[in-house]
Amino acid sequence: MALIVHKYGGTSMGSTERIKNVAARVAKWHDAGHQIVVVPSAMSGETNRLIGLAKEIMAQPDPRELDMIASTGEQVSVGLLAMALLARGKDAVSYTGWQVGIRTDSAFTKARIQSIDDTRVRGDLDAGKIVIITGFQGVDEEDNISTLGRGGSDTSAVAIAAAMKADECLIYTDVDGVYTTDPRVVDEARRLSKITFEEMLELASLGSKVLQTRSVEFAGNYRVPTRVLSSLTDPLMPLEEEASSGTLISFEEENNMEQAVISGIAFHRDEAKITVLGVPDKPGVAYHILGPVSDANIEVDMIIQNVSVDGKTDFTFTVSRNDYQRAVAVLESQKEELGFTRLVGDAKVSKVSAVGVGMRSHVGVASQMFRTLAEEGINIMMISTSEIKISVLIDEKYMELAVRALHKAFDLEKA
């Protein structure tokens, strides 16, 4: 008997019929003798609807109250799924995050999990119950409801699996695994049977929508075996077949085969670039620019500082397009203190990245990537690298062309 955590996304929970299918799948795993914890998302579109209602009342909703509203979508999901299981004769119980002790910090709308008390859940599992827990949410030290940011149910599921030392965490989505790139952009995209945590973390952080970045961090840090698979298959398919389907996220040392140089091409459409022109070039300039941006809870991605000329320099960085106007406003409010000449920005840029642990042992990846883009007439605005990825910032209108060209250049359509 194993302890398995199931996570189901909004599409999987998108209607009462699909919720019944989820219940049939969960019941199948429970019938096989496994202890099951389920973490579902809100029904598809529900969180957007709730946030839309909030914005009809308040253009910039108060973060604490917004979390109070947004958290209700998952509460509906867990109640409906518990009912669907009860209707099948299964002993099931649903809980909110605060009822099972999921504690977070107080960064409303982007909270981070600090601890999980699994006592209540273990008691129910030992009694033979199926436990269903709201994803995406917890409570801070003052018992305010908090949410983990979009895609936070993935993080909830993996964090619960880590806290309970689960045997495996199964992430059910509307796709059947992790692909070399988005099949909607490249028809020849291929599903990977296995990928390393490092590669998955890079892909998630670089725009792949399959898993939320923090969920991969949790899985890697706590060594939680994690598998991405489809919830749109027959819920009564043989358990052995389902348990080996999808994409297994593994550790590099567990894969004895020679790694491909590149495993995937990721992209992120919603980037924005901000350049601070004529800032005094002195120690601490980067901190003084990015400190106020960070204090506003805005994440910065790519960064470039130009060569100093006459004691002045230009400083360029990227943020999410949703944070662009806020970041500009923060910097404009600091103009006198920072002493820059002016700000320029571009909210129509995208990031394209090549990812693969094989970069560690192969040379020439960067040159091949840059040559491919040059041959397509695509100009590179910014570059960032790590041991296993190369990212470039380009004009948004060339993004899909770049992805298709790079996918072909690195032979990713071949198994």
Pairing of strands 226-230, 247-250: antiparallel
Residue 354 lies in a domain: yes
Residues 162, 72 share a domain = yes
Task: Find the mean pLDDT for residues 379-386.
Answer: 94
pLDDT band at 253 (very low <50, low <70, confident <90, very high): low
Name the percent of the chain lying above pLDDT 70: 97
The DSSP code sequence of 206-235 is: TT-SSS-HHHHHHHHHTT--EEEEESSS-T
Centroid of chain to Cα 278: 36
Residue 55 lies in a domain: yes
- What is the pTM assigned to this prediction? 0.81
pLDDT at residue 255 above 70? Answer: no
pLDDT at residue 163 above 80? Answer: yes
Beta bridge partners of 250: 196
Task: Determine the structural domain holding residue 246 and report its residue range.
Answer: 3-175+210-253
Say if residues 134 and 71 touch (Cβ distance below 8 Å): yes
- Highest mean predicted confidence (pLDDT) among 79-88, 168-177, 386-395: 79-88
Radius of gyration of the chain (CA): 23
The lowest-confidence range among 50-59, 234-243, 253-262 is 253-262
Q: Name the domain count of the chain.
A: 2
Residues 248, 313 share a domain = no
User: What is the pLDDT, as a whole number, of residue 256?
Assistant: 47
Q: What is the 8-class DSSP label of residue 109?
A: T
User: What is the pLDDT, as a whole number, of residue 257?
Assistant: 47
pLDDT in tens, 373-382: 999 999 999 9
Cα distances (Å, whole numbers) of residue 254 to 223, 251, 328: 12, 5, 45
Residue 185 lies in a domain: no
Residues 216, 301 share a domain = no
Q: How far is it, in rounded angstroms, from Cα 90 to Cα 111? A: 33
Residues 19, 113 share a domain = yes
User: What is the pLDDT, as a whole number, of residue 58?
Assistant: 95
Q: How far is it, in rounded angstroms, from Cα 156 to Cα 161? A: 9
User: What is the pLDDT, as a whole number, of residue 6?
Assistant: 98
Residues 247, 380 share a domain = no
User: What is the pLDDT, as a whole number, of residue 207?
Assistant: 64
Angle between helix 324-333 and 285-295 (nearest 10): 120
Write the CATH number for 110: 3.40.1160.10
The lowest-confidence range among 20-29, 99-108, 174-183 is 174-183
Write the CATH number for 324: 3.30.2130.10
pLDDT in tens, 123-151: 999 999 999 999 999 999 999 999 998 78
Residue whose C-alpha is closest to residue 360's, from 117, 229, 196, 148 = 196
User: What is the pLDDT, as a whole number, of residue 302?
Assistant: 94
Residues 229, 101 share a domain = yes
What residues contact residue 226 under an 8 Å CB cut-off, 6+ apart?
158, 161, 168, 169, 170, 171, 216, 219, 248, 249
- Which of 253, 279, 306 is where one domain is finished? 253
Residues 224, 114 share a domain = yes
Name the percent of the chain lying above pLDDT 90: 79
Q: How far is it, in rounded angstroms, from Cα 132 to Cα 271? A: 36
Report the phi/psi class of residue 278: left, alpha or beta, with left for phi > 0 and alpha for psi in -120 to 50: left
